[in-house]
A and B are shown apart, each in its own frame.
Chain A
């Protein structure tokens, strides 16, 4: 397997990653002092979402254009279980994540039957189908969504209605997800994934059941997207059609692309850039989609490595 592994600057690389990680955590600890915490929490949820998406494209080479399905349905199930069934927040988020995992398993086993752009179109079509179900199902509240989701008490103890507690919880969930993804990428499983991305036929000839690896990656990605969606539902106390509709799938692609596909920190940066754009450009509201489109075009033509990818390339380190 050694000959397929990505060429890398091993010794220096892990140090640069550790430094970047420490900087990132440091930033998130001091940030609430000068940035509005609700905005930060929302961005953290999307950062985890983008990281989960990136696991699939960046390391498995699979472009999913339907990740809103897992994000959105998880946020519905989390919201519904917290509000109607009275689940505590941790259990509600798990319910959402389990839903996403289940959908990921079904959609994934269909989608991996085709490669490349077909894969993208299939994931998009399946997501659109589930969007229509979400629209018609009673419990989702149609256009109104599920409102006033209670934040509740974490493990029955920590009051999440307190902004600081909620922030810490969100940060911990994000970091746990982030580290898990990092662990997956650098595990033997991750190495096989990268091998499949580079040359699937070769991986098959080496005896790997590539379909199984791809499906596994798909389910993992969907589940983590579900954790992000569930956490978002608790933080913003809302689950709505926006989360499950196709522009959301496009947005997460954009986040990963802007930050840098296949980089560890890229999706986080990308998510913050895009969410900040949406939030702080609301005064030019009508231009948001146009700007997003321009960013897409510019990234594809000029900055295919994304912000972090270009930076890593410049400094010759791994990020």
Chain B
């Protein structure tokens, strides 16, 4: 159930100088998908990121003692909610971090609200977390579906990709992605020609791809995720979609997907992320530390893992400001009150609805010949300023935003 990571020794060693400061204890639980679908995006890498954040923070604030637990929710909402219930009731955990998989994240958010604890989301994509289902105990850090869809759609329309065909996974998530990005396309002056809804986990996309090809749309928007996205792009290459002049836009694509496709197949794919390891020196330096902590030299941190680092850092600052972690709502309120500042996401803010806002980046997958070293995936095509990157506060229907 838990993996105790004692940082007590380190903390004790640094205690001496600040005897007058108040002693604060915090217990953090990293819950992620350690084994399946999202394990590469969050998973053990998120735990490593949290460890780095804690080490950095306690070095500067020796009066804060942090304990770290981690667990695997196995992508099951009921496993996730029982573990979190147990964490809050029995283990006295103060904050839960990460939680990729929107279903599990929404469940955890609700439990955090009922038990007045804190929840910092990095891995989950659902924009509902800061929309209709927002609450005062949750902060959504790294990204959400609205940001991804909107960023990619707007940027592509601006660069001439003004006619769209959507390949949509036929369930709530796919519909939401299609709706959000379709709206962005039309708001920027583009046009959605047609769409086709395919069942989740479809193996063969050839039929849908032919329909997309026949539509003559300039952009084929992939409102799907994971294996479906990979299969669409892989078979799109086979049917000569990109060679024929059409372009794929991944609305929810991660570096791990690009890796699964190989640059040869994925080249030219456009996508949005809020953090990329090779963007600047600070990110590269942190990546080195992360690789050492994770004991995986060949792996590269994702934006989700970077978000865990930044989220934990800001949370710990807020705990100090709130003089303790026991009141989840008070700590989250502090997080919203103070501006954020960390080495990975720079300066930013947490909005009233719990949405953390920062810049987002429009990236294009490099050709194999352009990739100089492992992990060299993207060209940076545009930077979307924080103010435009996320859904406007008033559009989210979050009750916290109006009051």
- Which residues of A are interface residues toward B (Cβ below 8 A)? 36, 38-39, 42, 132, 135-136, 138, 141-145, 147-148, 232, 236-238, 240-243, 278-280, 282-283, 285-288
In Å, the complex CA distance between A282 and B199 comes to 31
30 interchain pairs, CB-CB under 8 A: A36-B90, A38-B86, A135-B171, A136-B199, A138-B172, A143-B103, A143-B173, A144-B128, A145-B77, A145-B103, A147-B103, A147-B107, A147-B133, A148-B110, A237-B81, A238-B77, A238-B107, A240-B76, A242-B79, A278-B74, A279-B79, A279-B82, A282-B71, A282-B73, A282-B74, A283-B2, A285-B71, A286-B36, A286-B39, A287-B35
Given contacts A138-B172, A143-B171, A282-B71, contact A240 B86 (CB under 8 A): no
Most chain B beta-carbon neighbours within 10 Å: one of A138, A147, A287: A147
The digit string for B221-249, where 1 denotes a CB below 8 A from any CB of A, is: 00000000000000000000000000000
Query: 12 more A-B contacts (CB under 8 A) besides A240-B77, A278-B79?
Result: A36-B90, A38-B82, A39-B86, A42-B82, A136-B170, A145-B106, A147-B133, A242-B76, A242-B79, A282-B72, A285-B34, A285-B71
A36–B170 Cα distance when bound, in Å, is: 39
4 tightest Cβ-Cβ pairs between the two chains A and B = A285-B72, A142-B172, A286-B35, A142-B171
Please report B residues at the A interface, Cβ cutoff 8 Å: 1-3, 34-36, 39, 70-79, 81-83, 85-86, 89-90, 101-103, 106-107, 110, 126, 128, 133, 170-173, 199-200
Interface-central residue, B73, B79, B110, B128, by most chain A CB under 10 Å: B79
Residue on B with the closest CB to A141? B172
Question: Is the CB–CB distance between B72 and A283 below 8 Å?
Answer: yes
Please report the C-alpha to C-alpha distance between residue A253 and residue B144 in the assembled complex, in whole angstroms.
Answer: 38
> How far apart are the CA atoms of A223 and B67 in the complex, in Å?
45
In the complex, A22→B36 CA distance in Å? 42
A49–B85 Cα distance when bound, in Å, is: 23
A38 touches B85 (CB 8 A): yes
Closest beta carbon of chain A to B197's beta carbon, Å: 9
Question: In the complex where A132-B199, A285-B35 touch, is A236 in contact with B71 (Cβ < 8 A)?
Answer: no
Whether the pair A39, B78 counts as a contact (CB closer than 8 A) is no
Q: Please give, as numbers and ranges, the residues of chain B lying within 8 Å of A141 by CB-CB distance.
A: 103, 172
Chain B residue at minimum C-beta to C-beta distance from A278? B79
Question: For the complex, what is the distance from the CA of A241 to the CA of B75, rounded to whole Å?
Answer: 10
**A143 vs B225: C-alpha distance when bound (angstroms):** 12
CB pair B103–A241 under 8 Å, yes or no, is yes
